[in-house]
Amino acid sequence: MPSSNIPSQTIGAPIPNNTQHAVSVTLPTWEATVGYEEGEEWVVNKMNSGYPRFFIHNDIQQLSKLIESSYARDNEKCFIFPTYNIAKRCRNFLKEKALTLSPPVKANIRILQLSTPPPASVDEESTKIEANIAIVFFPSNLYSLTKQYWQHTGEGISSRLAEYFLSEMKDKLTAEIKSKRSSEVSNGSSNHSQSPRASRSSRSSRSSVSIRNNNLNNKTESATFIEERFGRNLDLRFAKEAKKILLERLSSDFDNDYCDSQNTYLYPSGMAAIFNAHRIVLNISEPNDANKLKSVCFGFPYVDTLNILRKWGAGVHFYGFGDDESLDDLELRLESGERILSLFCEFPSNPLLRTPDIIRIKQLSDKFGFIVVVDDTVGNSSNVNILPYCDIVVSSLTKIFSGDSNVMSGSLSVNKQSKYYEKIKEFMKEDYEDFFWDQDAIYLERNSRDFQNRSKVMNANAEKVIELFKNSKLIDKIYYPSVSSNSSKRHYDLVKRDNGGYGALMSIVFKEQTDAICFFNTVQLSKGPSLGTNFTLVCPYAILAHFQELEEVAKWGVDPNLVRLSIGMEKTDELLKTLKEALDAAEEQHNI
């Protein structure tokens, strides 16, 4: 790979380079990844970016600090959400979980709503929109608990929404802070008494902030210039059309008898789609069932899917292997009379790329009456046709659908043939809110136009990379749908599209950790979290996602020496050369 194309190897740099709203971050060495997980200052202090549900974007941090300075009471912190209903869900979560702490905490949680004004003229409609946020104020000792809600549900505000709010109200908030401090000094008081607007927030009233700022700050002007320079149109008047196109593009992968744009929904993240799928299950079930029946997590999933099933509802049965024997055990459980609420699975799973027997799961669902939710992010809809075998498909559009690693988003598609369809639609009609920020929609629409073609290129590259790894004597195991166990590959092939492939994601396990470390540290590719990027992205997955529970996840086959690769669109020969150089370096040090 030419040196000019070598990705950044600087700790904390965004991936891609110089991308303000990047969804990945550079952790260029094994040691840096461990240091990040252990909270070492030499890593943490350099983090200028990160995966948005784990790392609070700098614009969101800045907006939070301004709001806290203006409206927080003593010892209060805040998190910002895009709607009042989401803020209420967060408040309910905090109140419930705070009572389970030792000692229990009866928390006072407040919600404040703010909005920017609508455009004042037709000319302003291309750059201004009435944007709304809902701020949850909580005692500072509940910060980590509130962060759980933010991380697990994916319902926090977009960094672009925070950027927009700052551009519209930063001066206003700064002026209010100065006024507040002057008032405190004149009153001889240093306590954080409430301004009139903040006092109204305790009654959950809506506070409309009138701002007129015709001169956007330099950062916004620069971002606009870059977008226009590279042919992207950020005209906010096109946001509704962009969302309509996205819904049609997403649903076009499904047979119209199973799904269309009227049964596809956009969310600001893949986890928000998963969380709201679980909310659907809980709300359309009989109250006694929702309160008593557990769900099933089938296969080792991405960590927050399991967290959602554990922390909302009656709990979860975890079948970490997700294989045929696990399905045998589940069937015996059901045959014995136990009922379950739902089954969630990935197709295939991340990071072990195991494919569940979705056809048999569908048969069990029909027989025993539970809802099936499938996350097809890894396989993606261009490769596999999952919807006929489940009730709901969720997907992280942040990944291959976008590809550019600069926007968070997710989708939820409902099977029109599902026996739960009418109940799901009735619930969605009353409950669904479009809180996918308009600017993010415009980015995603542009990014996803060539989704199908990019997927084919990645599939082809991945198959070549697999052949390279097969020939390495350093590697103990390879996880990829086409080389998985015979049963797992068969389950994948039964729903693989005729023109589909096996995806871009793979995991390799080295026999020796020293070889894994040498390979990872040497390979000149982007290194950080996420997957489905147009460029190859590598991470030591077990270390990054499960550092505090390595022994536990090893029981399910997630080895500490596992390196996960999301294969991109580089020229095949150059990509293979880069990977072989890293393998050769590991082999050389292995033989010393």
CB distance 559 to 495 below 8 Å: no
Q: Which two tokens stand for residue 369?
A: 């009456």
Question: In the predicted model, what is the mean pLDDT of the chain?
Answer: 90
Residues 399 and 489 both lie in one domain: no
Tell me whether strands 316-319 and 264-267 are parallel, antiparallel or unpaired: unpaired
Residues 458 and 445 both lie in one domain: no
Residues 376 and 417 both lie in one domain: yes
Residues 470 and 431 both lie in one domain: no
Distance between CA atoms of 397 and 418, rounded to whole angstroms? 23
The phi and psi torsions of 583 (rounded to 5 degrees) equal -65, -40
Q: In what order do the strands lie in the sheet with 371-375?
A: 264-267, 410-414, 392-396, 371-375, 342-346, 295-298, 316-319
pLDDT tens column, 567-578:
999 999 999 999
Residues 316 and 430 both lie in one domain: yes
Output the pLDDT for position 440.
Answer: 97
pLDDT tens column, 312-368:
999 999 999 999 999 999 999 999 999 999 999 999 999 999 999 999 999 999 999
Task: State the DSSP code for 263.
Answer: G
**Segment holding 358, helix H or strand E:** helix 358-368
Of 103-107, 203-207, 234-238, 514-518, minimum mean pLDDT range? 203-207
Q: In terms of residue numbers, what domain contains 302? A: 256-449
DSSP sequence for 160-173 = HHHHHHHHHHHHHH
Q: Which two tokens stand for residue 200?
A: 């109204």
Q: Which two tokens stand for residue 11?
A: 């700790």
Residue 244 included in any domain = no
Nearest to 70 by CA among 196, 239, 186: 196
Distance between CA atoms of 324 and 326, rounded to whole angstroms? 5
pLDDT category at 185 given cuts 50, 70, 90 is: low
At residue 176, does pLDDT exceed 90? no
Residue 281 CB neighbours (<10 A):
28
Distance between CA atoms of 421 and 414, rounded to whole angstroms? 7
At residue 484, does pLDDT exceed 50? yes
Output the pLDDT for position 112.
Answer: 97
Residue 344 CB neighbours (<10 A):
27
Q: Which two tokens stand for residue 565?
A: 């690769």
The phi and psi torsions of 114 (rounded to 5 degrees) equal -130, 150
CATH code for the domain of 365: 3.40.640.10
Residues 444 and 468 both lie in one domain: no
pLDDT category at 193 given cuts 50, 70, 90 is: very low
At residue 191, does pLDDT exceed 80? no
Residues 76 and 138 both lie in one domain: yes
Q: Contacts by 252-255 with C-beta closer than 8 Å and gap 24+? A: 253/381, 253/382, 253/385, 254/381, 254/385, 254/387, 254/413, 255/385, 255/387, 255/388
Distance between CA atoms of 131 and 139, rounded to whole angstroms? 27
Residue 295, SS3 per DSSP: strand
Report percent pLDDT > 90 for the chain: 83
Distance between CA atoms of 122 and 126, rounded to whole angstroms? 8
Output the pLDDT for position 184.
Answer: 65
Output the pLDDT for position 592.
Answer: 62
Residues 207 and 271 both lie in one domain: no
pLDDT category at 549 given cuts 50, 70, 90 is: very high
Q: Average pLDDT in the 53-66 region?
A: 93
At residue 37, does pLDDT exceed 70? yes
Residues 281 and 398 both lie in one domain: yes
pLDDT tens column, 259-268:
999 999 999 9
| Residues in CB range of 100: below 8 A, 6 or more apart | none
